[in-house]
Amino acid sequence: MRQSACNRGAVLALLVMALCETPAYATEKLRVVVTLLPLHSLVAGVSEGGDMPGLLIPAGGDPHQAQLRPSQRRLLDQAELIYWVGPALETRMVGLLGRGEFSAKSVALIDTDGLVLHPTRTLVDWYQGQHEHSHDHHEHDTVQFVDAHFWLDPNNAIVIVNAVAEQLSLIDPEHRSRYEANALQLRERLLVLDAELEVMLTALRDERYVVFHDAYQYFEKRYGLRPVGAVSTASGHRPGAQHLKSLREVIARSGVRCAFSEPQFADAHIKSIAADTGLQIGSLDATGRNVKPGAGAYFDLMRNNARALLDCLQGSRE
Q: CA-CA distance, 313 to 227, in Å (whole number)?
A: 11
What domains sit in the chain, N to C, each tagged with a CATH number?
5-113+120-196 (3.40.50.1980), 202-315 (3.40.50.1980)
What is the per-residue pLDDT for 139?
A: 41
Q: What is the pLDDT of residues 99-135, one digit of tens each?
A: 888 999 999 999 999 999 999 887 667 766 534 444 5
Most confident stretch, 28-32, 67-71, 158-162, 214-218: 158-162
Q: Are 137 and 112 in contact (CB under 8 A)?
A: yes
CA atoms within 13 A of residue 45's CA, in its CB half-sphere: 26
**Identity of the residue numbered 82:** I
pLDDT band per the 50, 70, 90 thresholds, residue 60: low
The identity of residue 108, as a single letter, is A
Query: Which of 36-50, 88-102, 257-271 has the highest average model confidence (pLDDT)?
Result: 36-50
* 306 has pLDDT over 90: yes
pLDDT, tens digit, for every residue of 151-176?
999 999 999 999 999 999 999 999 99
Q: Are 112 and 164 in contact (CB under 8 A)?
A: no
Q: Please determine, for residue 142, whether its predicted confidence score (pLDDT) is greater than 80.
A: no
Beta carbons within 10 angstroms of residue 197's beta carbon: 19
- Rounded to the nearest angstrom, the gap between the alpha carbon of residue 116 and the centroid of all alpha carbons in its chain is 13
The residue among 2 and 90 whose pLDDT is bigger is 90
* Confidence at 270, pLDDT banded by 50, 70, 90: confident
| Average pLDDT of span 266-272 | 81
CA separation for the pair 72, 59 (Å, rounded): 14
CA distances 162 to 46, 111, 153, Å, are: 9, 14, 15
Which of 110-119, 135-144, 247-256, 275-284 has the largest mean confidence? 110-119
- pLDDT recorded at residue 268: 82
So what's the pLDDT on residue 18? Answer: 46
* Ranges 78-92, 127-141, 252-266, 287-301: which has the least confidence: 127-141
Please state, in angstroms and rounded to a whole number, the distance separating the CA atoms of residues 19 and 29.
Answer: 11
181-190, long-range: CB within 8 Å, 24+ apart, which pairs?
Answer: 182/45, 182/46, 182/47, 182/48, 182/49, 183/46, 185/45, 186/42, 186/45, 186/46, 186/161, 187/158, 187/161, 187/162, 189/299, 190/154, 190/157, 190/158, 190/161
Percent of the chain clearing pLDDT 90 (strictly above): 55
One-character DSSP codes across 299-316: HHHHHHHHHHHHHHHHHT
Least confident of 21-25, 223-227, 301-305: 21-25
pLDDT for residue 65:
62
Residue 206's nearest CA partner among 264, 248, 256 is 256
213 vs 22, which has greater pLDDT? Answer: 213
Residue 92 to residues 62, 68, 132, 147, 179, Cα–Cα distance (Å): 11, 9, 29, 17, 31
Cα(115)–Cα(135) distance, integer angstroms: 9
- Compute the distance between CA of residue 142 and CA of residue 35 in angstroms, rounded to an integer: 21
CA 79 to chain centre: 21
Contact present, 40 and 157 (Cβ < 8 Å)? no
Higher pLDDT, 156 or 14: 156
